[in-house]
Amino acid sequence: MIDFLLEIGFEEFPPALLKRTAEDLSAKVEKLLIDERIFYRSIRVIYTSRRFGALVLGLTRKQKPQIIEIQGPPKKLAFDSEDKPTKMLQGFMKANNLKLSQIFTKKIKKGEYACGKKEIAGANTDDILGKEIPEIIRGLEFPKTMVWTKGGIRFPRPVRWIVALLDRRPLRFTFAGIKADRYSSPNQHFSFTPIRLEKPREYLILLRHGGVIADPNERRRIILKRIKQAAAKIGGKPLYTEEMIEEINCTIEYPEVVTGEFENQYLDLPEEVLMAVLKVQGDLIWVKGSNKFICIFNGKKKAVQNVRKGYTRGMAAKLYDAYFYYKNDLKQGLQNMLAQTKKMMWLEDLGSLYDKATRINRLVEMFKTVPELGIDALKRSAMLCKADLLSQMVREKDFTFLQGIMGGHYAEACGEDKQVAAAIKEHYLPKFVGDTMPKTKEGSVLSVVDKIDNVVGAFLSGNRPSGSYDPFGVRRNGYAVVSVIDACSMNISLFEIIDNLLKLYNKDFDKNIISEFFIERFTRYLQDKKFRYDEINAVLATWKGDVTDARIRCEALKKLRGKPDFTKLVIGQKRVRNILKDIKKIGVVNGELLKEDAEKKLYKKGLETKSKIKELFQRRDYFKILNLLLAMRVDIDKFFDDVMVMCDDKILRNNRLALVHYINSLFSQYADLSQIVIEGENQQE
């Protein structure tokens, strides 16, 4: 049994990429070992800010031998009457280097055959790793890379050393111009002298002596322990998230801890601002309610004094600025900021930020009949929601992400209604897929109309997205619009909002282009909700713009599909579609003209179903509606079996077509079921 260590060393890696790259690398090494039939006992992911890799213990020196079977001639031709090998079998044995003892017979589909079985010796682990490991490193993928030598390889940061030690010997390969070797690098706060490794098992311990805790899980445990101890000393609760700890974990090699404090007056700042300052100043952890912070730093215990002093000064300077902005903003007030938005251009040719606010303030009037919605608060928040972009706080780049949140605080401080403040605060949500949704009704509506205005504005100013070009994040906005509407189950038509908005712009623009964009976004949204594309197509084919409604229809459809009746129904719908395809003029059904039993029955059933589902539509009980439609299936089939639609009598024919159309209209109220793909049917796209 031997061990294997792979460590790629570089200048400090982007923290957000580190963990997943290290885990990806280690998973690929593991897969390689399994695929190549190399046994190993354990594998451990390694990473710090300056290295990642994998430590594999208990490998076999060689691949497991492989036993293969080779099929030879049929038994009848392989052996003669005395059961001796024929010439043909001998030829087969010679060609495959097989002895008679390796020959056996086997029954397969085609009959009984002579087969050879032989063992292929495994290759050396050494050779396999030497060949494949550099390929694995080369195959790692990154969103952003750089070059550091002319014509050199691309990587997120310059690679500076590689350890690839199998047992006591380095593997022979070169990556990024660096030869794999046995020298690792210590924490630079401890030493610059490379660490010589005789064998992989020494790795963790020797690196620890060099000020590097290479195992990320161990490092994380130490970080959490240090935070806990420091917080206990202060006597408070440290405020942190998993992500913050991981971020810290990815920026250090050896965690030490220090605490610091800031002036009490800064506790007047909104918590979000304080948290932002702590984050910018190096992922500091706040002890909630106090003026104390905890700092995990990379280095030696001896540095505690200096580190405390430095971070405390850094905090003081940044808090000074934040407080300065905050007080000035409060002095100025939201109303004054609003006045200034008149001078701030929003998008070219589309007026100022003030114009935007005025526009959405007028647009939200269409929601005045929505129950439990404070229309006055909504209108006021629409007017004020962009004012904080003129605040000093939001104009500072470290705090720009607090847009909306600051507006909410300033609104409250200026005596605005709580509902108004909440809506302003929430209206940028969700900022990304999976982000939290606005909680209040007013905030949700404001979020939706603001984003629709962003989308429409971008289209009107010639900035519609295409390919990778989407400077205004129009796609993200569009997706957020449908997800917010769906999350708060609003009963409104997206198309109606767009219509009203275009009227307010008073510009000549083909609204179908915008509708199509939203249909595409909504399709994506429904796909992410795990609906199948044909379910989505069927529902959206007859869609009138109500997002929640369409989602519920998809759900009912999903629930019912797979029932045998449903499949037959869809086939029937496809027939109907074909029959109606080329007919231009269709009249109304005349009950008197119905002759056959089957058509009379179908008509009756149709009338009954129609009156039943009418009320169900109002209640959006789509599952029941679908079931009722499904229940028409027998009559529909009977009709097609017994009645000749395209008969010679023109009057009869037209009446029957009208009946088919009438029945079809009942379905298309719900969805275009003919879009559903039935298994085994060729997909028509």
Partner 1 sequence: MRKDNTFENIIIRLKQYWQKKGCLLFEPYNSEVGAGTFNPATFIRILDEKPWNVCYVEISKRPRDGRYAANPLRFQQFYQLQVIMKPSPSDIQRIYLESLAHLGIKFKEHEIKFVEGDWDAPTLGAWGLGWEVWLDGIEITQFTYFQQAGGIDLSVIPVEITYGLERIALVLQDVASVFDLKWNNDLTWGDVYRQNEIEFSKYNFERADPEFLISLFSKYEAEAKKVFNDGLVLPGYDYTIKCSHIFNLLEARGVISISERAKMIGRVRALANQAAELYLRKNSEKNEEESEEK
Cis peptide before 156 (omega within 30 of 0): no
CA distance 353 to 407: 14
Which of the ranges 77-85, 149-157, 516-524, 621-629 carries the binding residues for partner 1, by CB under 8 A?
149-157
Give the residue from 397, 395, 398, 394 showing the smallest Cα distance to 424.
Answer: 394
Among 56, 128, 257, 347, binds partner 1 (CB under 8 A): 347
| Interface with partner 1, residue 196, by CB under 8 A | no
Residue 26 or 341 having the CB closest to partner 1: 341
Indicate the SS3 state at residue 582: coil
- The yes or no reply on residue 472 touching partner 1 (CB under 8 A) is no
Output the smallest distance, CB 567 to partner 1, in A. Answer: 55
Q: Specify the stretch interacting with partner 1 by CB under 8 A; choose among 315-323, 379-387, 473-481, 621-629.
A: 315-323
309: contact with partner 1 by CB under 8 A: yes
Stretch that binds partner 1, among 313-321, 518-526, 575-583, 590-598 (CB under 8 A): 313-321
Angstrom distance (rounded) from CA 241 to CA 481:
28
Q: Decide: residue 283, CB within 10 A, 0-12 exposed, 13-18 middle, 19+ buried.
A: middle
Based on CB atoms, which residue is closest to partner 1, 294 or 538?
Answer: 294
Closer to partner 1 by Cβ: residue 12 or 202: 12
Interface with partner 1, residue 368, by CB under 8 A:
no
Cα-flanking dihedrals φ and ψ of residue 174, to 5°?
-125, 135
Q: Using the rule CB under 8 A, give the single segment among 150-158, 359-367, 378-386, 620-628 that binds partner 1.
A: 150-158
Of 154-173, binders to partner 1 (CB under 8 A) are 156-158, 160
The alpha carbons of the chain give a radius of gyration, in whole angstroms, of 36
For the CB of residue 295, give the shortest distance to partner 1 in the complex, in Å: 7
- Judge contact between 10 and 142, C-beta under 8 A: no
Q: Quick one: which of 138, 140, 132 has its CA closest to 21?
A: 140
Q: Cα dihedral angle (21, 27, 29, 33), rounded to 10 degrees?
A: 180
Q: Should residue 473 be labelled a site residue for partner 1 when binding is judged by CB under 8 A?
A: no
Residues between 259 and 298 with contacts to partner 1, criterion CB under 8 A: 281-282, 295, 297-298
Sites for partner 1 among residues 17-76 (CB under 8 A) = 49
Verify binding: residue 348, partner 1, rule CB under 8 A: yes
Report the residue number, 309 or 507, with the smaller CB distance to partner 1: 309
C-alpha to C-alpha distance for 137 and 32, rounded to whole angstroms: 12
| Separation in Å, CA 472 to CA 38, 374, 459 | 51, 30, 10
| Spatial distance between the Cα atoms of 458 and 465, rounded to a whole number of angstroms | 9
Q: Which range of residues in 35-43, 143-151, 199-207, 477-485 is near partner 1 by CB under 8 A?
A: 143-151
Interaction of residue 12 with partner 1, rule CB under 8 A = yes
CA dihedral sign of residues 536, 538, 542, 546:
negative
* Nearest distance in Å: CB 305, partner 1: 8
Query: What residue ranges bind partner 1 (CB under 8 A)?
Result: 11-12, 14-15, 49, 144, 146-151, 156-158, 160, 188-190, 192, 251, 281-282, 295, 297-300, 302-303, 305-307, 309-311, 313-317, 320-321, 324, 343-348
